[in-house]
A and B are shown apart, each in its own frame.
Chain A
């Protein structure tokens, strides 16, 4: 991993980070800006539920015009298809191997060559997408749910529960992802997809929870929340329909980037030998197997590494684009 990444919440001046083309965008979107300002103003008058719709609708209108967003999301769609239906991309069996082809160079019909066991490498790389995507999405999915629950309690009620959750998060925060991952996974005898995900869920939750907490904390002070309270709305209602829809945006943004970070961390742990174990088909394991042969068979390293990097990059670009689109203040 990128191990600990400065997030929009825990670094003071981080709001504006990671925006490759903001200047261009700003110059080009004078018209859109005025339009979205009008939409926001109209939505504010219309009440909270319409505001929520228009925040995301507005974001979508922004996103659709961004080439980087379109490229990243089409790449992700391809990766998701690969994970769901690898048969669409290759008609071969990743475990049907012929030792006669051992470490064969890329050639016609087998564009990525063969691995050391003589399996078609393209097929192996395609099938490797599945575990990476599942672990990335599962870990962040669970962590976002944890973050919403714990972050809302800590941010909204404050006091004892806030302190309690913050102390526990501090303790987990003291365990860097790779180091913590090594210690925990090393202790587990059998390491499959669930075990690796479980450990990564535990190591990643404090970041997202802190982000949610600070987001709820600032949302709580908004005038429309005060107004709702004055009208006698219950805590649950205020949280569900006023604070959450606005407060969740930074969590979604960082969560998207974090999916990439988790995928990268899983590959690193598998590469080190404490992640997934053979016969699982994983990019980290493929790179690990290739490491002693990079001089003679560089293709064994390059293809899984390329897929891994492109998948991580797609999530990072998607997160960046979402951040630009979801935060009207940045426009």
Chain B
């Protein structure tokens, strides 16, 4: 086990440097003089230009620039806004709101996804099974932002059931955005649970458990379901990336003052530093989450860690 974790950590190192290098080159090392671009029409003095060049390390070679950039990330420095506010501060301030939204989405997708997946998997080919399959296909096809607007139109404006913007109504404000944000993962959790349950119900140890005379709920709950959830758990790591991308769109649509809306607004006001800073932080968290999930996978499934 220890060896597996060590190997996985070692593998994450090149991924970390590779991914940050790609982001760095795409964002900071594009050809052209950024200072001249910053000037616009009015020329600024040579000394002011030099001060800017020093501040952004523009006279260094590409590798040194990258080194300073990664060093900054390690110290929690994700750049600053045009007004000089550190992006890390924004991240810290807005994080609780986004965390609440993500938690809501997570609860929604896991509970509903598992129920739908288990019901469909237990009665394969039934009406319910087909209903789950068809409805999930349709949900996958509708992009998150369309789903958000439709939810606003139907639940908020037509039925007037739920608040559609802001967070001033307490936890109720999070219901609709959480559902929209979690909808895509809900589909995959339901599908994965169904497929993996169907597969496991056919296996030998289930027949053995039934032959021993165990009750149906016990066979399904303790034997089949436990193994069926392994791929579902791993999916949740991958899902994290979707969740962050989705949060940018969902928070923008529902006006939730979290990290995602900050990115949404920064894109619209063309404040590149905020966009890049926040998204880079997101990518780092994504790499970390995937690593944790991989380790978790190995804990749950001996076939992986012994392979």
Interface residues of A (CB under 8 A from B): 1-6, 11-24, 167-168, 170-172, 174-180, 182-184, 186-188, 260, 264, 267-268, 271-274, 287, 291, 294-295, 298, 301, 305, 308-310, 312-313, 316-317, 320
Nearest-neighbor residue (CB-CB) of B188 within chain A: A6
Instruction: State whether B192 touches A11 (Cβ < 8 A).
Output: yes
Instruction: State whether A272 touches B143 (Cβ < 8 A).
Output: no
Among listed B67-75, B87-95, B97-105, B146-154, interface-contacting one? B146-154
Instruction: State whether B241 touches A182 (Cβ < 8 A).
Output: no
B276 contacts chain A at the CB level, 8 A cutoff: yes
User: Main secondary structure on chain B at its contact with chain A?
Assistant: helix
B206 contacts chain A at the CB level, 8 A cutoff: no
Instruction: State whether B137 touches A320 (Cβ < 8 A).
Output: yes
Instruction: State whether B275 touches A170 (Cβ < 8 A).
Output: no
Nearest-neighbor residue (CB-CB) of A16 within chain B: B195
Instruction: State whether A175 touches B133 (Cβ < 8 A).
Output: no
Instruction: State whether B137 touches A317 (Cβ < 8 A).
Output: yes
Complex Cα–Cα for A6 and B237 (A): 12
Instruction: State whether A287 touches B149 (Cβ < 8 A).
Output: yes
Which A residues touch B4, using CB under 8 A? none
Interface residues of B (CB under 8 A from A): 11, 14-16, 18-19, 22-23, 26-27, 30, 124-125, 129-130, 133-134, 137-138, 140-146, 149-150, 152-153, 157, 184, 188, 191-192, 194-196, 198-199, 231, 234-235, 238-239, 241-242, 244-246, 248-249, 252-253, 263-264, 267-268, 272, 275-276, 279-280, 282-283, 286-287, 290
Instruction: State whether A174 touches B287 (Cβ < 8 A).
Output: yes
Would you list 29 pairs from A and B whose C-beta atoms are within 8 A, ordered by A residue? A1-B242, A3-B184, A3-B242, A4-B239, A6-B191, A18-B133, A20-B133, A20-B137, A167-B18, A168-B18, A174-B16, A174-B18, A176-B245, A176-B286, A178-B249, A179-B241, A182-B248, A182-B267, A183-B26, A183-B275, A186-B275, A271-B145, A274-B267, A291-B253, A308-B146, A309-B141, A313-B137, A317-B137, A320-B137
Nearest-neighbor residue (CB-CB) of A170 within chain B: B15
User: Main secondary structure on chain A at its contact with chain B?
Assistant: helix
Instruction: State whether B263 touches A176 (Cβ < 8 A).
Output: no
Complex Cα–Cα for A180 and B244 (A): 11
Instruction: State whether A183 touches B152 (Cβ < 8 A).
Output: no
Instruction: State whether A6 touches B14 (Cβ < 8 A).
Output: no
Instruction: State whether B283 touches A186 (Cβ < 8 A).
Output: no
Complex Cα–Cα for A312 and B238 (A): 22
Instruction: State whether A305 touches B267 (Cβ < 8 A).
Output: no
Which B residues touch A309, using CB under 8 A? 141-143, 146
The smallest beta-carbon distance between A159 and chain B, in angstroms, is 18
The smallest beta-carbon distance between A117 and chain B, in angstroms, is 20
Query: Which among B26, B27, B246 has the highest number of chain A CB atoms within 10 Å?
Result: B26
